[in-house]
Every structure is written in structure tokens, then in C-alpha cells.
Amino acid sequence: MNVAKETGPYVIGKIIQYTHEARRAFGGKSMKRPSFNPRRHMHVDDAAQAFVGVIGKENTIGKTYNLVNRGYITWADYHRMAMNILNQDCELVGVPFADLKMLNVPDFEICEEIFAHHVYYSSEQLFRDVPEFHPQISLETGMAQVFEHMQREIRIPDSDSLTWEDEIIARQRRILE
């Protein structure tokens, strides 16, 4: 089976962590606008059920399945959902991809290698071959679970000392004035 890189809890956690840090770093005012590229996700517990549904079925032998839900979400909506989970609100500030690359943003590689591209993984073959499979956990519920776990495990770093995002947003606002 092919599992899209953005389906696992690590990336969901990383984005919630980034979003939460951004929210705290900006004092609730703004954050870099995420891309509008469509993405599809599936909770790891649902992915496990998909594996179970495929195993031992004659019609699934030798096939490749994408473990993603039907429908899609943009990164802008993803970040708005994260803000909802955090009971926060902030302005999304657009920063061009080329500018982020030039500014040596930490961990930018994932933006360049994955998030900069339109990707659409179809799950229709999975749903057709395993009709009894029905994902149960919404993206919002999964994100809330990851956030709660990160809080409990004290894995959300204190972002008060990080200023690079503030600097980028201030620069972008000067350009737009």
C-alpha cells in the first residue's frame, strides 16, 4: 500500500505544533498563510482498519491503495481548523514561496518537497475493493487528539523566544503597504 506522507499523526502533529507556535508567537494577530493546495488525510486508526479490510481478499492481491479519505482540504482551511481546535483566531498572512525559500526558514525542505505541489491521491480503489471500510475519525478529531497528546507530554515548545516568523510577517506587511 502507498501511504501519502501527509496522512500520519507526525505531520498532523508537526502542523499543529507549527500553528500553535505561530499563534503564540504572534500574540494572536497573524501567521503565514498556508498554501491553498488541496490535501487529503486519513487518521492512523482508520488506516489500520483499511489494512485489515484489504488483507486476505482475493480482489486486493497485487493492488496499491492510497490511504486517504474522500474529499480534500486546503492548507488554509487546515490552519483554520487548527485555530478552531486551539480556540484561537488569527489572520493568515500570505508570504510567497520564493521568499520563504530565500529566507532560510527552518525545516523548509518539507514545503519544497511536499507542500508546494498539488497532490491528489485517489482512494476510490480502496473504497470500491473494500466496501465495508468506512473511516470513523475526522481530521478535526484527529488533530484535537494530537494536540491534547502534545500538551499532556509537554511537547509544544515555548515559542516566545522564536522571532523568525514575526520578522517574516513584519517584512511581508511592509511590502504590502
What was the pLDDT predicted at 109? Answer: 85
- pLDDT at position 1 is 35
146 pLDDT more than 60: yes
Q: Which of 158, 123, 163 is nearest to 21 (CA)?
A: 158
CA distance 40 to 44: 13
Per-residue pLDDT reduced to its tens digit, 89-136: 877 888 888 888 888 888 888 888 877 777 778 999 999 999 999 999
The CATH number corresponding to 5-176 among 3.40.50.1820, 3.40.50.2300, 3.30.360.10, 3.40.50.720 equals: 3.40.50.720
Which pLDDT belongs to residue 173?
87
Which of 16, 17, 8 minimizes the C-alpha distance to 40? 8
Helix, strand, coil share (%) of the chain residues, nearest 5: 50, 5, 40
Q: How far apart are CA 27 and CA 39, in angstroms?
A: 28
Domain boundaries, the chain: 5-176
Q: How far is it, in rounded angstroms, from Cα 53 to Cα 48?
A: 9
